[in-house]
Every structure is written in C-alpha cells, then in structure tokens.
Chain A
Amino acid sequence: MSKNVVIIGNGIAGVTAARYIRKWSDFNITIISAETKHFFSRTALMYIYMGHMRYQDTKPYEDHFWEKNRIDLIHDRVTGIDAAGKSLSLEQGNAINYDVLIIATGSKSRFFGWPGQDLKGVQGLYGIPDLEAMETYTKDINRAVVVGGGLIGIEMVEMLHSRNIPVTFLVRETNYFEHLFPLEESQIINQEIRDHHVDLQLQTELKEALGDNDGRVRAIVSSKDEEIPCQFLGLTTGVAPNIGIVEASDVETNRGVLVDEFLQTNMPDVYAIGDCAEFREDGIGYRRIDQLWYTGRHQGKTVARTICGVQQRYNPPLFFNSAKFFSIEYQTYGTISAKPEEGIETLLWISDRKKELIRINYRKDNQQVVGFNLLGIRFRHALCEKWLLEKRTIDYVLTHLAEANFDPEFYKKYEPELVATYNRQNPDNPVQMAPKKGVLANIFG
C-alpha cells in the first residue's frame, strides 16, 4: 500500500524528510511550498545579495533531482489544514488529501510593534521576498540602520556593507551577541565589526522609525533619543515559528506547533519539524524551539524513520554550531555558556592580533572537557565530538590537540600557544603535546 505523504514547506527540514522517506519507502511524496518551487539554502541568502552567488547557485539539488526521485513539488500556498478530514486547501490549486502530513513551515521575522515598523524600506530578512524588497529599497541610498545583535543582524550589516552602504548597527546589549557569547568572543566581534567601518552602537535600541511623505522610512530614533537618518531599516530582532495556518486548525500550537519526542502533534499522522516545531517538554531538543539548519536536518531525518515504520525518538547529536562574522569564522562544540559557570574552568587563548580565539571549558572536579569555542580557527567536528562523548579530560585533549586542527595546510598552528597558556596556569601539572599522527585513524579507529 502506498501512502500519500504531504509536506508543507520545502526548507531543509521538509526536504530532508522527503529525501529519507524516499530512501526508505515507496510512498508518494508531495512537497508544497509558497516561497520557491525548488529548495534553496536559506543560509545563503546573504550571498545572493552580495553577488557571490546567484539564486540558482544556492539550490542544493539540480532541478531534475526531484522528478528523478519521484518527489512531487507544488509551488502554492496552503491556506488551511483539515486534520480530521486529512486534507489541505491551497490558494491556487485544488484541495489535497494526505495520509501523513508533515508541517515544516519554518519561521517568520519577529517585530515588536515599533511605531513606523510598517513604513516602506523597513523589513526583516528571512526569505526571497525579503531579498527582493531589500534590493528595491537599498538602491542608491546613503545610509542604513540595522537593529538586533544576532546572527541575521550581522549578516544584513555585511550585505549592506558589500554594496558600500554606510550602516549603523544598533545592539541592545553591552556587547555583540552577549547572550550567547562569553565576553572575550563578543569583544573580538565588536572589533571586527568596527574594523569594517560599521557604526556599531552598543546598548542602544530602536524607539521608532520616522517616515517621509511617501510613507518611506527617512530616519529612526534610538533609545538614546538620537535621530539617525536612513533610507533603509533592517529589523533582525529574532524569528518566530510561522504557524498561521496551523493555529486555525485542530493541530495544537503554543509559540510553535506542539510536538512530542517523536515529532508528533496532537493529531494522528500529523508531524511538525524544523523551525516551526515546539517540544512540549524540555530536554528533548537543545531548547523547546531549535531554529537551526542542523536541527531542521536532523528532525527531518528522524521523522522520516518514524513515518517509514521505525518509531524514532528525536535525539539530537551533541550540540554544535557555526557562523561567520565578516571574516571571522566561528565554530562551537558542546556547551559553552555566556556567563562563567560554577564548577567550570576555562582555558582561553587569544592571538596577538585578536582575531583568533580558542576556549576550552572543563569541569573543575574531574577535569572533563565540556565544550569548545573557536574563532578564526577550525577544529575537526568528529574528533571534538568524540572527545566530548568519551568525557576526555583537559590533559588528554591538550595532549592530542594537534590532531583536532582543521585549518588549511601551511596555516600557523596556535595549539602550542594554548598548551603553553595552560601550563603557565597549571605549573604542577604540565601537559606535553603529542606529535600529530594518524588523525583519521583517531576519528574512525
């Protein structure tokens, strides 16, 4: 018997689910999405505007992929879910029946009701329509303001910067990304932003946006009562699950679509994955709502297994993430909290030019390493993960650190300096680095 699996949303979550369902079953698979017909990489949006890539370059699969793998694509908007009758209504096309439904509708930009937020030239950055609007409203302008010190905010700043548009960047906190970054990391990024001649204003919020006669933004007023002229205002103060159509249905929602550890909603055969899903309980995902590319991917795969007949609990891999702040790459593995934690010791090394940083956190009591933060240096994901899972001590990790380095060949190696720092701090218990050998054997062995 061939089931009809219907997926709303062709982002990483929905597409991963479709791919694995196809691998593991012969079900009919249909993906409905409003934004674009084909899956593209949302994380690459900035590069389209910056001219590094065209839209078609951000599509992870060539267009013939879908037909070849018998995944039907419908470029339309779902307007309603009838969970009892197991059908969906579409804006343009006819209603569609499903046996299994996966809701993967992603997020939408979140604004906070500022006066003037509906003016022309005021927008967030989430999808292709935002990119189009940005294209229109940043033409020939002489200043822009971006509000919100998160990952999308700095991307928007970088985009504007690439077009030689002067930017003022308002960040509410004392330092950029302070809620997730320890102080030193934040300070390095503050400096990186300023090195690119961006007007970074910390501890500053948006009060209101002022319009001109045509209803287009002409300036903003900051919390310091300063009026900053601008013809474009980027609001990157977070995203929220995009669940309008779900709220109107029998599927239970809170901030997102509520799911259990099997990514199942309250309605039979209806699942939710990716940015739009919210766990009913803590401790299933990293947080109740995990808005990450990687978690969307993992949830897609998990749900595919369940749908293909093996009840699979969602069980995310050890936490990791990465980003890039202008020219500084960031990688993190395990747990690094923003504020110093009781019982956790930190080993920190920062390069003289203050563009590279290695932080390794470990427990005071048993020396077990709990997390890595890296700026401007790449470490091997698989190896760091292995060490963390094997609960390796700081001594062990430092001894073998050379194997973790993933920087391109001939790059300066900073690990000896880190080890030297450790030895200065722990003169009684010095560590000696082992010569680099058998990296791959170490990972796979």
Chain B
Amino acid sequence: MQRYDVTFQLTSPTAKFTAMERVGMVILGLGLLTWVVALWGIGIDQPALMFWGGLAAIATSAFIYFQRYLNRPAGINNDGVWLNSAMAGVKGLVGWTLGIVFTGFYIILYWQDAWLANFVTIFEPLSQLLRNQPADKWFMYGTLYTLAVLIMGVRMLYKYRHNKYQILRTISVMFFQLGFAFLIPSLLVMFNQPEFYFSYFWPLKYDYLWPSSIDWLTGSGKLGVFMVFWGGLMFFLATPILTFFYGKRWYCSWVCGCGGLAETLGDPFRHLSDNSVKAWKYERYIIHGVVVFVVVTTALLWTNSATSGAVLGQASASFSKWYGFLIGLIFAGVVGTGFYPIFGNRVWCRFGCPMAATLGMLQKWFSRFRITTNGGQCISCGNCSTYCEMGIDVRWYAQRGQNIVRSSCVGCGVCAAVCPRGVLKLENGPREHRYNGPVLIHNDRVSVVLDDDWQAETKGMMPVHQEDIPVLTDSDWKGMG
C-alpha cells in the first residue's frame, strides 16, 4: 500500500441541461437584458412593460430551473454542491464573479446612484400603485430584495418539500418580507404616515430607539405614538419572552428580512460558512463589538438629548453617523450580502448583527431552546457542520452525544435536515439538562448497570460514577482558552 495524498481533484458531474432548461436560460437572458438596457434609458418610456416583462421572464426561467427539484424524489439533494464552481466558493470563478456583482451592486447603490437613475424609473408604476409616490432607489432596492426572497423562497419550498419545518419557516419569511417589510411600509407612505417596519426592532433597526426617531414618530400623530410603543414592546417584552420559549429562531429564521434573504437567496451558499474554531473566535469579538457600538451610540444620543446637547455636543451625532455608515451600510449591505458567495449566506447575521448577538445571549442563558442529539447515533460524517450557515461545528457536539446550545444558532433546522442518521432535533424543552453531558457515556453507564460482575471486578479501582466525568470541555480539546 502506498501513502495517499488526499488533494486529488473531483470532477464536476456533467451538467446536463434539459431542452426545457435551455429554453429557460434564453428566457432568463432576455429578462436580464430587459432590465440591463434600462440602465441606459432604453425602453424607459414604457416602464410598466419593462418592469413586468423583465420580471416575468426572470421568474419564469427560475421556475423552469427549479423543476430540477421536482424531477427527483423528495429528499435532501446536495449532489454536486462542492463540485459546482458557482457554489464552491472562493475556489470557484463563478463564486467570485457573483461576489463582485453583488458587492458592486451595493457600492453603486450607495455611492453611484446616478448610474441607476434610469433603472429606477421602471419601478415608477409599481411605486405609484403601492405608495402613490415616485420611485426612488430605496423603493427599487426594496422591490428587488422582496422579489429575491419570494423567487428563491419558492426554490427553498421545492428543495425541502419533504420537510415541513423548512416549508413553514420559508413561507413565514416570505410572508414577513412581503407584508411587513414591503407592502405595509409602502401603504404607510401612501397614507402619509411614517414609513415604519413593524418587523424590525432596536438594536437591528438601531435608530428606532434613538431620541430623534422617537421625536419624529410621536410628533407624526397617533399611529406614530403606536409605532414607538410597538418598538418598545417588541424589544423589551416580546423579544425576551419569545426567545425564552423558542430560542432566537422565532426572529432570525421566521421573521427577519435579513435572515429571510439569507435563507432564500443565500441558501445555495450556506456551506461556505467557515466552521473553524478560528472563525468562531473572530465572530465573537466582532459581533459583540457591534453590540457595544450600538449600545454606546444609543446611550450617547440619549445623554445628549437629556442634557440638550450640553455635554457631548456634536460628538454623539458623529458617533451615530459612523455607526450608521460602518455597520448599517457597509456591514449589513456591502459585506453582509455581497460576500454570500465567499463567506456563506449569514455573514451579516453571524459577524455583524447586533440583534442576533442580543438574542444569542438570551438564547444561551435564558431559553428553552436546544438542539438535542440522539444518543450514540452520530457517525461523525460532517454534513451538519458543513451545511450550518452559522459556521457552528455541530458535529463537534453531536459526536459526543451532547446537546447543541450555542448563542449563534439561528434555528434554521438545516443541520437536522441534512443529517443522514437522524441525530439532531430542534427542541424547546425544560431548561434542566439542556446543557447535558455526553450521552454516549450514558450507554456505558447502562452497560455497567447491566453487568453484575462489573462492580466486583473493579472494586478498589476507578469508582463507577467516574464514568460520567469525562466531559471534554472545549478548552480541553480545542484549546479555545
């Protein structure tokens, strides 16, 4: 036997496109072309035609392609994910191209919006219809975002059609994005009310607890006062209660729009999330840093407002501006979505979101949620860790028979779905035993009990109950310090 080098390359399964899929690609090309030429003003005198025509083509081609999932029996289908250059992340040319396109889009959106002026005009009819206002770049962006969640949401529904948890959760994020993050804010604008997102709260929507926003909302009438009340209620009451019962997933995987985009548009990239201990280390510094930043900003603004600006003057305003720029804009947008094809689909949620961090602390210490490990069934295959979008090394716990209680887990349920041995289950249960010792040990204890001679044999040696002790802590085994 020789010694083998395991760097060998696997080839991609021959990408066989059906005739229908080829037609789909042509339709997709035409749809994209319709929208791209609008950038140069071509056809913008027919905005409705351009918008709906382009959308119809893109959606049609997407649904044609999604038929792939219906053409095979229901079940987990990750065939070829790492063999496909689009999905293989940093290594893939297509992955990089997509990353550059996504990131480029955000950069243009924020800093070169003049380039988009013509394109925005094709959103005019829809904007008039929903908001009775001319379209602007943010309406265009919100529309595209919502469409991405809806179209790729349908893909999720096809892909996981055997899994009811995935189906319900996907319908939920599609519903909240369309209703609470798109239609309701639009209607509010139509009725001259403050544009308010009922599905976002401080600290994610950081300015909802800033004195300026509160002044603005309360000053805008009864509905505004209700909005302030709602924001406070959701953050101070609903968030801790729901998180206590269900973990942070009630928000991150069922309601949040950022989570919604990650779970739909981002699903093809979930395996790119780095699950090394090193990444985990950075993650904890960065995300908690952001929380500190947003808390400090909010506190400064309130101090300033309470002292009528006497104490801090302009300092707090520039601090908040910086928060808005660095976190709200660069991180949440440019990096958060643009880097899906490089760092996985939850870059923002994992490294940047202050809401995720806050919920995470609650989840870790004050929640009934955990992922239960099914006895000794784990075969250490690694599917769970590979497909965990939060880069959690799920296998690390599962192979020791230990429950997974991690602050970053968004409860997407994909680890449980991809596990070929039925080892993982997302559960809300009593808080005792939530942090269990390895259940693999349990098997030993049982066999010890079964074996009557055992006690005699080991008399004077290691006491039986020491069998329970070997709980390998992370610091023992991973050198986390």
Query: Looking at the complex, which one of B375, B442, B461 makes contact with A310 (CB distance below 8 Å)?
Result: B461
The distance from the CB of A402 to the nearest CB of chain B, in whole angstroms, is 14
Whether A317 contacts B385 by the Cβ 8 Å rule is no
Taking CB atoms, residues of chain B closer than 8 Å to A411 are 164-165
Query: Looking at the complex, which one of B81, B399, B447, B461 makes contact with A315 (CB distance below 8 Å)?
Result: B447
Whether B4 contacts A54 by the Cβ 8 Å rule is no
- For B461, the closest partner residue in chain A by CB is A310
- For A292, the closest partner residue in chain B by CB is B379
A382-B1 contact given A57-B382, A408-B164, A408-B416, CB 8 Å threshold: no
- Does A287 interact with chain B (Cβ within 8 Å)? no
Chain B 1-27 interface 0/1 with A at a Cβ cutoff of 8 Å (1 = within): 111101010111110100000000000
Query: Looking at the complex, which one of A43, A311, A441 makes contact with B379 (CB distance below 8 Å)?
Result: A43
The CA of A54 and the CA of B78, in the complex, are separated in Å by: 12
- Does A172 interact with chain B (Cβ within 8 Å)? no
Interface residues of B in 435-474 (CB under 8 A from A): 436, 439-440, 442-444, 446-451, 454, 457-458, 461-462, 470, 472
The distance from the CB of B15 to the nearest CB of chain A, in whole angstroms, is 10
The CA of A345 and the CA of B395, in the complex, are separated in Å by: 38
Taking CB atoms, residues of chain A closer than 8 Å to B84 are 51
- For A333, the closest partner residue in chain B by CB is B375
Whether A408 contacts B163 by the Cβ 8 Å rule is yes
Whether B79 contacts A162 by the Cβ 8 Å rule is yes
Whether A439 contacts B446 by the Cβ 8 Å rule is no
Interface residues of B in 235-291 (CB under 8 A from A): 276-277
Whether B472 contacts A23 by the Cβ 8 Å rule is yes
Query: Looking at the complex, which one of B162, B165, B427, B446 makes contact with A389 (CB distance below 8 Å)?
Result: B446
Query: Looking at the complex, which one of B11, B399, B462 makes contact with A135 (CB distance below 8 Å)?
Result: B11
- For B10, the closest partner residue in chain A by CB is A135
Whether A294 contacts B376 by the Cβ 8 Å rule is yes
Taking CB atoms, residues of chain B closer than 8 Å to A406 are 372, 374, 422, 425
- Does A185 interact with chain B (Cβ within 8 Å)? no
Chain A 66-93 interface 0/1 with B at a Cβ cutoff of 8 Å (1 = within): 0011000001110000000000000110
- For B74, the closest partner residue in chain A by CB is A327
The CA of A196 and the CA of B14, in the complex, are separated in Å by: 18
Taking CB atoms, residues of chain B closer than 8 Å to A208 are none
- For A69, the closest partner residue in chain B by CB is B477
Whether B3 contacts A44 by the Cβ 8 Å rule is no
Query: Looking at the complex, which one of B72, B82, B376 makes contact with A51 (CB distance below 8 Å)?
Result: B82
Query: Looking at the complex, which one of A51, A77, A164, A312 makes contact with B1 (CB distance below 8 Å)?
Result: A77
- Does B313 interact with chain A (Cβ within 8 Å)? no
A77-B472 contact given A41-B380, A381-B375, A408-B416, CB 8 Å threshold: no
Whether B374 contacts A381 by the Cβ 8 Å rule is yes
Whether B13 contacts A51 by the Cβ 8 Å rule is yes
Query: Looking at the complex, which one of A35, A58, A91, A315 makes contact with B450 (CB distance below 8 Å)?
Result: A315
Whether B377 contacts A381 by the Cβ 8 Å rule is yes
The CA of A309 and the CA of B460, in the complex, are separated in Å by: 12
Taking CB atoms, residues of chain B closer than 8 Å to A68 are 477-479
The CA of A49 and the CA of B82, in the complex, are separated in Å by: 10
Whether A331 contacts B422 by the Cβ 8 Å rule is yes
The distance from the CB of A136 to the nearest CB of chain B, in whole angstroms, is 9
- Does A385 interact with chain B (Cβ within 8 Å)? yes
A293-B379 contact given A52-B79, A164-B14, A324-B421, CB 8 Å threshold: yes
The distance from the CB of A224 to the nearest CB of chain B, in whole angstroms, is 28
A329-B374 contact given A53-B383, A53-B386, CB 8 Å threshold: no
Taking CB atoms, residues of chain A closer than 8 Å to B10 are 48-49, 51, 135
Query: Looking at the complex, which one of A55, A196, A297, A309 makes contact with B6 (CB distance below 8 Å)?
Result: A55
- For B81, the closest partner residue in chain A by CB is A51
- Does A365 interact with chain B (Cβ within 8 Å)? no
Interface residues of B in 70-94 (CB under 8 A from A): 72-76, 78-84
Interface residues of A in 109-149 (CB under 8 A from B): 128-129, 132, 135, 139-140
The distance from the CB of B239 to the nearest CB of chain A, in whole angstroms, is 21
- Does A20 interact with chain B (Cβ within 8 Å)? yes
Whether A382 contacts B454 by the Cβ 8 Å rule is no
Taking CB atoms, residues of chain A closer than 8 Å to B451 are 313, 315
Taking CB atoms, residues of chain A closer than 8 Å to B446 are 317-318, 385, 389
The CA of A293 and the CA of B379, in the complex, are separated in Å by: 7
The CA of A92 and the CA of B3, in the complex, are separated in Å by: 10
Total CB contacts across the A-B interface at under 8 A: 223
Taking CB atoms, residues of chain A closer than 8 Å to B1 are 34-35, 77, 129
- For B458, the closest partner residue in chain A by CB is A310
The distance from the CB of A406 to the nearest CB of chain B, in whole angstroms, is 5
Taking CB atoms, residues of chain B closer than 8 Å to A301 are 444
The CA of A65 and the CA of B474, in the complex, are separated in Å by: 11
Taking CB atoms, residues of chain B closer than 8 Å to A318 are 443, 446-447
Chain A 306-325 interface 0/1 with B at a Cβ cutoff of 8 Å (1 = within): 00011111011110101110
A440-B429 contact given A62-B277, A309-B461, A317-B444, CB 8 Å threshold: yes
The CA of A140 and the CA of B416, in the complex, are separated in Å by: 34
Whether B470 contacts A410 by the Cβ 8 Å rule is no
- Does B417 interact with chain A (Cβ within 8 Å)? yes
Interface residues of A in 379-432 (CB under 8 A from B): 380-382, 385, 389, 406-412
Taking CB atoms, residues of chain B closer than 8 Å to A381 are 374-377, 439
Whether B377 contacts A41 by the Cβ 8 Å rule is no
- For A242, the closest partner residue in chain B by CB is B1
Query: Looking at the complex, which one of B375, B382, B420, B430 makes contact with A441 (CB distance below 8 Å)?
Result: B430
Whether B4 contacts A12 by the Cβ 8 Å rule is no
Taking CB atoms, residues of chain B closer than 8 Å to A310 are 458, 461-462
Taking CB atoms, residues of chain A closer than 8 Å to B385 are 57
A311-B458 contact given A327-B74, A408-B417, A439-B429, CB 8 Å threshold: yes
Whether A20 contacts B470 by the Cβ 8 Å rule is yes
Whether A43 contacts B478 by the Cβ 8 Å rule is no
Whether B377 contacts A139 by the Cβ 8 Å rule is no
The CA of A51 and the CA of B14, in the complex, are separated in Å by: 13
- For A79, the closest partner residue in chain B by CB is B1
Whether A317 contacts B376 by the Cβ 8 Å rule is yes
The CA of A186 and the CA of B2, in the complex, are separated in Å by: 39
The CA of A36 and the CA of B446, in the complex, are separated in Å by: 35
- Does A438 interact with chain B (Cβ within 8 Å)? yes
Taking CB atoms, residues of chain A closer than 8 Å to B433 are 440, 444
Taking CB atoms, residues of chain A closer than 8 Å to B231 are none
Most buried by B among A301, A380, A382: A382
Taking CB atoms, residues of chain A closer than 8 Å to B38 are none
The distance from the CB of B61 to the nearest CB of chain A, in whole angstroms, is 22
- For A35, the closest partner residue in chain B by CB is B4
Taking CB atoms, residues of chain A closer than 8 Å to B470 are 20, 23-24
Whether A139 contacts B11 by the Cβ 8 Å rule is yes
- For A389, the closest partner residue in chain B by CB is B446
Taking CB atoms, residues of chain B closer than 8 Å to A313 are 451, 454, 457
The CA of A68 and the CA of B421, in the complex, are separated in Å by: 30
Whether A378 contacts B374 by the Cβ 8 Å rule is yes
Taking CB atoms, residues of chain A closer than 8 Å to B203 are none
The CA of A58 and the CA of B385, in the complex, are separated in Å by: 10
- Does A27 interact with chain B (Cβ within 8 Å)? no
Taking CB atoms, residues of chain B closer than 8 Å to A51 are 10, 12-13, 78-84
- Does A163 interact with chain B (Cβ within 8 Å)? yes
Query: Looking at the complex, which one of B11, B79, B375, B458 makes contact with A385 (CB distance below 8 Å)?
Result: B375
Give 21 CB contacts A-B under 8 Å.
A20-B470, A34-B1, A34-B3, A52-B79, A52-B383, A53-B383, A60-B395, A65-B477, A162-B80, A163-B14, A195-B73, A196-B73, A297-B440, A315-B447, A317-B447, A322-B377, A327-B162, A329-B422, A410-B165, A411-B164, A440-B432
Task: State the B residues within 8 Å of A (CB).
Answer: 1-4, 6, 8, 10-14, 16, 72-76, 78-84, 162-165, 168, 276-277, 372, 374-377, 379-383, 385-386, 395-396, 399, 413, 416-418, 420-422, 425-427, 429-430, 432-433, 436, 439-440, 442-444, 446-451, 454, 457-458, 461-462, 470, 472, 476-479
Given contacts A60-B395, A382-B439, 6 further A-B contacts (CB under 8 A): A23-B472, A51-B81, A55-B6, A385-B443, A407-B425, A439-B429
Q: Which 4 A-B pairs have the closest CB atoms?
A: A381-B375, A327-B75, A317-B443, A378-B422
